[in-house]
Structure 1
Amino acid sequence: MDNNLPKIYSKKAIFGFSVLMSTLFGGVLLYQNLIDIKKKREAYIVLGLSILITIVTIVIVNIPEEPKSSLAYVFGAAGGGLLSYYFVPTYFPDEEHYPKKAIWKPLIIAAIITMSFVGLMVYAGSLENT
């Protein structure tokens, strides 16, 4: 392990957050990795692609009369696979040599975002029942 290499989020973390949260979330982790190694242009391309995949996911999941949330996991796995198994090896061919960032900060952010959405959904549901 080279001490001069910056800490990065692992491809497992990127994949996991893509599946459990969204490709956008995994894309933000990879974006941060690319910013840390001074690849700003590539970082913005990855972020743009992540946003696009997330928008397509939202549209397709909500097309059926009864939205299928399981499709979100399929798209998350596909997007996470693209980020983790194409982009990470492309920009970090020696990824295993980089020290890894802890996932606590993104995990806490993900929990706050999730709790906020759940709280808003509960609040909106209570407004409908009045």
Structure 2
Amino acid sequence: MEEKLPKIYSKKSILGFSIFLSTLFGGVLLFQNLLDVNKKKEAYTVLGISIVITILTGIIVNIPDKPISALAYVCGFAGGILLSDYFVPKYFPNEPEYPKKPIWKPLIIGIIIVGILVALAIYSASAENSY
């Protein structure tokens, strides 16, 4: 009897979330994939690397006097490539054989988090201007 493979997030999902949200979001998807196949140590390693890349992205984007947001996409792309083209094949060499999880739940969570961050940025900017 053939072993049934668990559903995982695809390489494309991991790359897309890394580019458009942050490497941390892509890393969380890969983290979840690794937990689903009982690779806890690898999952926490990937999560730690994703956090470090996200922190470095924040630093790099804010180095210039005027932060360049396009750098965030470049860093997200680089982090996403690392996650999807290095770690996914390393831990899921037969990744195409796995059934894929839908991205709706993480997408909705990501949109909510981004919405909250945008609202906080707008609120803090309007609070600064009122003084």
Distance across 2 between alignment mates of 1:51 and 1:125 = 27
Name the aligned partner's letter for residue 50 of structure 2: S
Distance across 1 between alignment mates of 2:111 and 2:45 = 26
Aligned to 2:24: 24
2:108 aligned with 1:108: yes
Aligned to 2:86: 86
Alignment of 1:1-130 (within 5 A): 4-130=4-130
Shift of 1:24: 0.5
Shift of 1:3: 6.3
Q: Secondary structure at the match of 2:18?
A: helix
Distance across 2 between alignment mates of 1:101 and 1:120 = 31
Shift of 1:129: 2.1
Distance across 2 between alignment mates of 1:57 and 1:42 = 22
Any runs of at least 4 consecutive aligned residues in structure 1 with deviations exceeding 4 A, and if so which? none
* TM-score of the pair, normalised by structure 1: 0.97
Q: Secondary structure at the match of 1:34?
A: helix
Cα deviations across residues 64-88 of structure 1 (Å, max 9, x unaligned)? 1011110000000000000000100
RMSD of aligned C-alpha atoms? 1.0
Shift of 1:125: 1.5
Name the aligned partner's letter for residue 45 of structure 2: I
Distance across 2 between alignment mates of 1:25 and 1:70 = 18
- The unaligned stretches of length 5 or more in structure 2 are none
Shift of 1:126: 1.5
